[in-house]
Amino acid sequence: MTRIDAKFADLKSRGKKAFVAYVMAGDPDFDRSLEIVRGLPGAGVDVIELGLPFTDPMADGPTIQLAGQRALEGGMTLTRTLDLARAFREQDQETPIVLMGYYNPIYSMGVDKFLPAAKEAGIDGLIIVDLPPEEDIELCLPAQDAGLNFIRLATPTTDDKRLPRVMQNTSGFVYYVSITGITGAAQAEAADVRPEVERIKAAADLPVIVGFGVTTPQKARAIAEVADGVVIGSAIVNKIAGGESTEDVLRFVASLAEGAHSA
């Protein structure tokens, strides 16, 4: 059982919904990023999604793109991202970390080198947005053999014919992208999300966490009421981009977590 599996089992036993927070590793710099990440569990975050900076983030909107650019300009790499996770684990051995990004940096390092390094650094799961199920042999299956969850995205355009293939070999949880388009592009609506969550849960016995288009505590609660939890990224990254202090960023995160946990 991974930390992700254990976390969702615990939340379910307590009748609680999950709050997942996304931040870009190395944004605005390594030290500040580590400070923020270390503060997330205390702000109520159940699972940390750690963005892996990449030069061509095709699924991300301007907010996440610029965060990745800032991180890359500051010297952030895949190796440094694992260093950040390793430093986080010096103080926290319980909070799950999901590494979210694109396959190119992993391919460049080499899967055989990356997987043991990620496991040793304390990474618990992967969301690699540009690897479809047809490429499971590339990373998904080796990752699961190494003890990492491989978390798949489902979208409004994932029809009933495609859904079983998408759910095959998925573990940890399913990330439902509530809108079509890029991150930060529109607002998620609970009425639209509910039937999609039910459809996914009928196809996979896994928690369904909803992301994209959630920006406020009120929206977090509304979405968490119809899913197993909610992911928020762009709204948090915007606070970091605006130069707000770590305390203010974490205060905002705490308000989002309170919204999700009140569902």
Would you say 72 and 29 are in contact if contact means Cβ atoms under 8 Å apart?
no
Q: Which CATH superfamily is domain 3-261 in?
A: Aldolase class I (3.20.20.70)
Task: Please list the residues that pair with 79 across neighbouring strands.
Answer: none
Q: What is the pLDDT along the chain (263 residues), one digit of tens a residue?
A: 899 999 999 999 999 999 999 999 999 999 999 999 999 999 999 999 999 999 988 878 899 999 999 999 999 999 999 999 999 999 999 999 999 999 999 999 999 999 999 999 999 999 999 999 999 999 999 999 999 999 999 998 899 999 999 999 999 999 999 875 545 445 677 888 999 999 999 999 999 999 988 999 999 999 999 999 999 999 999 999 999 999 999 999 999 999 999 99
pLDDT tens by residue, 84-115 = 999 999 999 999 999 999 999 999 999 999 99
Would you say 168 and 154 are in contact if contact means Cβ atoms under 8 Å apart?
no
Nearest to 227 by CA among 176, 182, 179, 181: 176
- Report how far apart, in Å, the C-alpha atoms of 167 and of each of 100, 104, 215 are: 18, 23, 27
Predicted pLDDT at 237: 97
Distance CA 231, CA 49 (A): 9
181: tokens are: 């388009």
Predicted pLDDT at 178: 86
Phi-psi region of 153 (alpha: psi -120 to 50; beta: other; left: phi over 0): beta
pLDDT tens by residue, 209-218 = 999 889 999 9
- 189 included as an active-site residue: no
Predicted pLDDT at 183: 52
Predicted pLDDT at 216: 95
- 198 included as an active-site residue: no
Give Cβ neighbours of residue 71 (< 8 Å, ≥ 6 apart): 24, 25, 26, 27, 28, 33, 51, 53
Of 27, 46, 49, 136, which is the active-site residue?
49
Of 60, 124, 196, 228, which is the active-site residue?
60
The phi and psi torsions of 112 (rounded to 5 degrees) equal -65, -30
In total, the chain counts a number of residues equal to 263
